[in-house]
Amino acid sequence: MNNSGNLVANMERIKSKIAQNNINLGKPLSLAAIEKFETQHSIILPEDYRQFLLEISNGGDGPPEYRLKVLAETVTEEMQPLQPFPLSNYWVWDDVDDVDEELFDSVYRCGHLYLGTEGCGIDWILIVNSAARGKVWQRSDEGIVPCTPARSFISWYEYWLDGGENWFDGQEQ
């Protein structure tokens, strides 16, 4: 099956699970609204996230704990999603005596969209510009780590729908 076939099947499965779980979501976005956002930020959204916005919802219940942000709230003035996301692996800056401030700032500004917060300084981001494009990472006051196993937006959202709680069950000890 090609990617578009998988994407259609994924969206139908997600819609069914949302209906079964009585999830409260916003209305989907129009293609014109998504393209305007992409043009404004000079990026192309990962295909599964883009399709979620078109077919399912622009924000609402889900991961993160305090709701999935609407597309317009995923980029702040300080952020530069066009610039490459600087990491390809986790980074625990809390363990480092002399943190590279430029790298630290880039982790908060470059190459991603802000999906929302769990609270207590724990946020979810979607990488839009780097080798990790399309993957969801968790950032906290202590460091940043990709979901393990790696999760696209849709696999991250579906894992939550299925009751998953351990976003890092594939992490080496």
Q: How many domains does the chain have?
A: 1
Q: Is 100 a member of any domain?
A: yes
pLDDT tens for each residue of 22-39: 899 999 999 999 999 999
Q: Is 29 a member of any domain?
A: yes
Q: Is 123 a member of any domain?
A: yes
Q: Is 49 a member of any domain?
A: yes
pLDDT tens for each residue of 131-164: 999 999 999 999 999 999 999 999 999 999 999 8
pLDDT at 171 over 60: no
Distance CA 164, CA 127 (A): 21
Q: Is 173 a member of any domain?
A: no
| pLDDT tier, 173 (very low <50, low <70, confident <90, very high otherwise) | very low
Q: Is 172 a member of any domain?
A: no
| pLDDT tier, 1 (very low <50, low <70, confident <90, very high otherwise) | very low
Residue 15: per-residue pLDDT: 96
Q: Is 128 a member of any domain?
A: yes
Q: Is 171 a member of any domain?
A: no
CATH number at residue 133: 3.40.1580.10
pLDDT at 79 over 80: yes
pLDDT tens for each residue of 80-109: 999 999 999 999 999 888 999 999 999 999
Q: Are 103 and 86 in contact (CB under 8 A)?
A: yes
Distance CA 136, CA 159 (A): 12
Q: Share the mean pLDDT of the chain.
A: 93
- Cis (ω within 30 of 0) for the bond into 84? no
Residue 166: per-residue pLDDT: 84
By residue range, what is the domain housing residue 24?
3-161
